[in-house]
Amino acid sequence: MLFVRTCKQAGFRFLSKTNVGLFQAAASTCGLSNVSIMLAQQADRVMALGEWEERWQEDRIGFHQPHVHKMLESHIDKVLAGRTGVRFFFPLCGKAVDMKWLADMGHSVVGVEISEKAIKQFFEENNMTYSEEPVPALAGAKVFKGSEKNISLYQSDLYNFSSAIEGQFGAIWDRGSLVAINPRDREKYAALIISLMAKDCRYLLDTMLYNPELYEGPPFLVPDDQVNSLFGKSCDVELLESFDSLTDRQRGWGLDYLDERVHVITPKSI
C-alpha cells in the first residue's frame, strides 16, 4: 500500500481501522502531504460515461435516494438566504427527488444527466408529463422539460454544458457529482461549476472522507483541503456540517468509517 511503503521507514503501519485525524497525524510525521497521500490512492481511477449508463440500465443505482436528502433539508435556508424563485442547478442529477421538492417550493431546476433512462424515470415516477426536444447547441443532446413544474433536464455529457445554454444559477446542489467524476477531472469540473455560478449563488456541496486504501470508489474521497484548493481562489468555502454516515452498504465496500461533509461555497465579493 502506498501509505505503508512511503512511511515504513518512519515506523508507521497504516491500520485498516482508522480515522482522518490519525491519517493526517501520521502523514505529517512522515513529512508528507496528507492530501497528496490520500488522493494518490484513487488518482488513476477512471469510469467511462458508458459505465454510468450501464449502471442505470441494469438498475445498479444504490447511490439513488428515494427521499429528499436530509442535508438539503437541513440547510435549505442557508442556501436560499431569503430568496424566492431561485434557479437551481443539479450536476449529474440522476432522478433525484430533491428536484421536485424544490420545484414544489416555487424554484426552477436545471439538471444534466448522461442517462436518458434516469431522466425519464424522474418524470414518470413523480407522475409528471414532459416534452422532449433536441438541443441545437449541444450535439446529440436532448432536453426534457416538465409540463407542470419548471424543471429542465439535459441528457448530455456534463462537460459539454455551459452557461451559454441556460445562463448562470442562484444555487447549486451537488450531492453525488463531485464525488462521482473521475478524480483527474476535478479541476475541469470546478472551472465549469464556477462558470455557472451567479454573483449571489450558493453552492451546497456534499463530500466524503474515508480510507481510500479500502475502497477504490466511486464515490470518491474528496478531502476538505482539495475543496479549498479547487474553489478557494474565487469563492468562500464554509464547512456547515460533518457527520458519520457509515451504513451496511459502505461496510460491504470494506469501509470501517465514512464521514460525510457538507459545505456552502459562495463567490467572493469583488
**What angle is formed at CA 221 by the lines to CA 58 and CA 166, rounded to 5 degrees?**
70
Residue 269's pLDDT is what? 82
Side by side, the strands of the sheet bearing 197-209 are 130-134, 142-146, 151-155, 108-113, 87-91, 169-175, 197-209, 259-267, 235-244
Closest to 231 in 3D by CA, of 211, 201, 259: 201
> From CA 130, how far away is CA 112, in angstroms rounded?
16
Residue-wise pLDDT for 233-242, tens only, equals 999 999 999 9
Q: Strand ranges (DSSP E) for 25-141?
A: 87-91, 108-113, 130-134
Residue 7's pLDDT is what? 36
| Residue 33 in this model has a pLDDT that exceeds 70 | no
Give the CATH class of 32-267: alpha beta
| Residue 29 in this model has a pLDDT that exceeds 70 | no
Residue 3's pLDDT is what? 40
Give, in order, the Cα–Cα distances in Å from 196 to each of 7, 68, 189, 240, 247: 41, 24, 11, 22, 34
> From CA 228, how far away is CA 34, in angstroms rounded?
15
| Residue 257 in this model has a pLDDT that exceeds 80 | yes
For the chain, percent of residues with pLDDT exceeding 90? 71
Phi-psi region of 217 (alpha: psi -120 to 50; beta: other; left: phi over 0): left
> From CA 238, how far away is CA 132, in angstroms rounded?
38
Under DSSP, the state recorded for 242 is: E
> From CA 75, how far away is CA 243, in angstroms rounded?
14
- CB-hemisphere CA count at 13 Å for 19? 6
Of the ranges 12-21, 68-77, 182-191, which one carries the lowest mean pLDDT score? 12-21
Residue-wise pLDDT for 184-225, tens only, equals 999 999 999 999 999 999 999 999 999 999 998 889 999 999
Residue 8's pLDDT is what? 29
Residue 52's pLDDT is what? 67
Q: What is the mean pLDDT of the chain?
A: 86
Give, in order, the Cα–Cα distances in Å from 163 to each of 48, 86, 109, 191, 196: 24, 16, 14, 12, 6
> From CA 94, how far away is CA 212, in angstroms rounded?
25
37 pLDDT tier (thresholds 50, 70, 90): confident
* Cell numbers describing residue 262: 457538507
- CB-hemisphere CA count at 13 Å for 57? 7
50 pLDDT tier (thresholds 50, 70, 90): confident
186-195 vs 224-231: helix axis angle to the nearest 10?
50
Residue 55's pLDDT is what? 75
53 pLDDT tier (thresholds 50, 70, 90): confident
Mean pLDDT of 118-137: 96
Mean pLDDT of 118-132: 96
| Residue 14 in this model has a pLDDT that exceeds 60 | no
Of the ranges 28-42, 79-93, 150-164, which one carries the lowest mean pLDDT score? 28-42
> Model's pTM, two decimal places?
0.85
DSSP 110-152: EEEES-HHHHHHHHHHTT--EEEEE-TTSTT-EEEEESSSSEE
Mean pLDDT of 141-147: 97
Tell me the three state secondary structure of residue 156: coil
